[in-house]
Amino acid sequence: MSKELILTINPGSTSTKIGIFKDKEKILEQKLEHNTDELEKFEKITDQYEYRMDLIQDVLEKENMKLDKFKAVVGRGGLLRPMPAGTYEITDKMVEDLKIGIQGEHASNLGGLIAKGLGDRVNIPSYIVDPVAVDEFEDIARISGIPEIPRKSLLHALNIRAVSHRLAEEIDKDYSSLNLIVAHLGGGISVASIEKGRITDVNNANEMGPFSPERAGEVPVGDLAKLCFSGEYTLSDIKKKLRGKAGLVGYLGTNNAKEVVDRINSGDKKAQLIFNAMAYQIGKEIGKMAAVLKGKVDYIILTGGVAYSNMLTSYVKDMIDFIAPVEVYPGEDELEALNEGALRVLEGKEKAKVYEEEVNIND
Ligand SMILES: Nc1ncnc2c1ncn2[C@@H]1O[C@H](COP(=O)(O)OP(=O)(O)O)[C@@H](O)[C@H]1O
Ligand SMILES: CCCC(=O)OP(=O)(O)O
């Protein structure tokens, strides 16, 4: 049997997306949405491995896509050690770091684990591309205010880089000549400043910035400290409260922004206030990044699943379109970007990076 396909796997906090490609052509795409109740029963993210793997295998079986048809498997890379962008082969050390959650817990940690698990079964290579741990920060962006707690570059690097390249192509400019602000609005939210092709600053999408469908973002730290020591919560409870049970889930009980829009359209005033507040915080974060770029912003891009909502993008545009022209690319180009990252390596245009050679293993 000829091995001509590439399998791409993108686990997010609210969904698992699967794509099958023949060269650059996407021949299958499936989005499996996970509601809050489904995910709540898992103590840790890595506990979701079997659950998400089974769902992926079910899709492959239903579509009669046997593993021996594939020449590579590519997963979204997770919260690994700070690293340059690129395509990486999945090594044992990477697997170890994904399992520990070396920079924290997030669904994307499962991308590399599942890709490696499937690839090893049929002895084909497995890769990750532009993981959420891509770090191109200016040193000044690392300082938080507490020496023991540096700011971290954790973001939707895969889609942010993909849509920035897409815009550059559309306006016929070189990516490395542009200053951009890109806000990825998914289960988590990243708002990044891109200076001449380099991501110089971003809120840590797992812990900072605007609140999101399932995350707290920035909260008043004094009150958070009191909550932690109230005796009512364990560390695990607090982590879940901040990621998974916060944001839209905390206020409205759902991680599904579409459902929130439906509630607003049926007259739910609380849903309207909370949705507007999320938009307001996104607008404020974009303003911060405009200051990072000293006002020299060529374009602002709004992307990710929540950018499908006109209600939200209109609110944000109204706050920030004085800064620069705003482009909306709803959804994400992540499956395509995973496929193209693997293709560049398989076609010999690029050499796969080796994790152990690119990161500081002793940190
Ligand atoms: N048409 C839509 N209108 C509003 N929100 C949407 C729409 N489509 C998807 N979303 C929301 O986008 C969010 C998921 O975004 P996505 O980028 O797919 O995130 P993830 O990769 O974290 O699962 C969910 O809250 C989902 O309800
Ligand atoms: C940790 C940053 C990536 C992120 O938040 O992704 P999702 O929106 O898919 O949860």
ipTM: 0.98
Determine if ligand 1 sits within 6 Å of the CB of residue 186.
Answer: yes
**How many A from CA of 2 to the centre of ligand 2?**
35
* Alpha-carbon gap, residue 127 to 119, rounded angstroms: 9
Q: Is the CB of 246 under 6 A from ligand 2?
A: no
Q: Are residues 121 and 193 in the same domain?
A: no
In the chain, DSSP assigns E strands to: 5-11, 15-22, 25-33, 70-76, 87-89, 126-129, 179-185, 189-195, 198-202, 299-304, 326-330, 353-354
Q: Ligand 2 pocket: which of 15, 52, 79, 106 to mutate (most atoms <8 Å of CB)?
A: 106
Q: What is the DSSP letter of 205?
A: T
Pair (90, 130) in one structural domain: yes
244 lines ligand 1 (CB under 6 A): no
Ligand 2: atom nearest CA of 184 is: 8
Range of the domain at 39: 5-136+334-358
> Is residue 149 included in any domain, yes or no?
no
Ligand found nearest the CA of 17? 1
Could you count the other beta carbons within 10 Å of the beta carbon of residue 222?
Answer: 8
Say if residue 176 is in the same domain as residue 231: yes
pLDDT at 107: 96
Q: Is position 147 within any domain?
A: no
**Residue 146 belongs to a domain:** no
Ligand with the closest atom to the CA of 249: 1
What is the identity of the amino acid at 345?
V
Question: Are 97 and 198 in a shared domain?
Answer: no
Please give the backbone phi and psi of residue 31, each rounded to the nearest 5 degrees, phi first.
-115, 120
Looking at the fold, whether 191 and 300 belong to one and the same domain comes out as yes
pLDDT score, position 1: 65
Ligand 1, atom nearest to 214 Cα = 25
Total tally of structural domains belonging to the chain: 2
pLDDT at 362: 84
Per-residue pLDDT of the chain (363 residues; tens, 9 = 90+): 689 999 999 999 999 999 999 999 999 999 999 998 899 899 999 999 999 999 999 999 999 999 999 999 999 999 999 999 999 999 999 999 999 999 999 999 999 999 999 999 999 999 999 999 999 999 999 999 999 999 999 999 999 999 999 999 999 999 999 999 999 999 999 999 999 999 999 999 999 999 999 999 999 999 999 999 999 999 999 999 999 999 999 999 999 999 999 999 999 999 999 999 999 999 999 999 999 999 999 999 999 999 999 999 999 999 999 999 999 999 999 999 999 999 999 999 999 999 999 999 887
Q: Are strands 15-22 and 87-89 parallel, antiparallel or unpaired?
A: unpaired
Does residue 144 belong to any structural domain of this protein? no
Q: Is the CB of 305 within 6 Å of ligand 1?
A: yes
152 within some domain: no
Q: Say what the pLDDT of residue 108 is.
A: 97
CA of 107 to the centre of ligand 2 (A): 7
Task: Based on the fold, state whether residues 199 and 179 are members of the same structural domain.
Answer: yes
* Amino acid (1-letter code) at residue 89: E
* Any atom of ligand 2 within 6 Å of the Cβ of 19: no
Question: Is position 363 within any domain?
Answer: no
pLDDT of residue 282: 99
SS3 98: helix
Same domain, 84 and 194: no
What CATH number should be reported for the domain holding residue 243?
A: 3.30.420.40
DSSP string computed for 7-52: EEEEE-SSEEEEEEEETTEEEEEEEEE--HHHHHT-SSGGGGHHHH
Residue 36: the pLDDT is 86
Q: What angle do CA 130, 135, 140 make, to 5 degrees?
A: 160
Q: Which residues contact 139 (CB under 8 A, 6 or more apart)?
A: none
Four-residue CA torsion sign, 87, 167, 288, 331:
negative
Q: Does the beta carbon of 151 sit less than 6 angstroms from any atom of ligand 2?
A: no
